[in-house]
Amino acid sequence: MNFELLAGGVLLAILVWAGRQPRRGGNATRLARALFAALAAAGAVVAGLREQVVVTLVLLALAAWLGQSARKAPASPDTGSITDAEARSILGVGPEAGRSEIQAAWRRLMPRAHPDQGGSAGLAAQLNAARDRLLK
């Protein structure tokens, strides 16, 4: 049996096991995953030069998986503690606004705030939280 293939399989098994463990360590863990992704990519290049197609594909997949898992998740805005006054201010409605006026304000603002239309995920989340808070 090829030693490199065996070593790659053992490394893959260890990394899969480590990936299933609860995430701890924050930036150090992300840095380690990025480092292992770079090492797997370098190993894929070496295996490709040696014309070991299966090993190359496995290492490329491993590098892609580790690289993706090393990415930092976007921080979600804290919209759970929004007050009624803040929600009305975000939507631009007064204290006497009814359900239909709140929904109309949300429909007017959301197309400009939606990430698919050039807005930001944070602003869209705030608009949704404000609407949900006022409509309960």
pTM given for the model: 0.44
Strands (E), 1-135: none
Mean pLDDT value of segment 59-72? 83
pLDDT of residue 55: 87
| pLDDT tens, position by position, 83-135 | 999 999 999 999 999 999 999 999 999 998 888 888 888 888 899 999 999 99
The owner of tokens 């803040």 is: 86
- Round to whole Å and give the CA distance between 93 and 87: 9
Torsion sign across C-alpha atoms 88, 93, 99, 101: negative
Q: Which two tokens stand for residue 41?
A: 């990519």
Given this structure, which CATH class describes domain 84-135? mainly alpha
Q: Mean pLDDT: which of 14-18, 21-25, 64-68 is highest?
A: 64-68
pLDDT of residue 80: 63
Q: Judge contact between 4 and 55, C-beta under 8 A.
A: yes
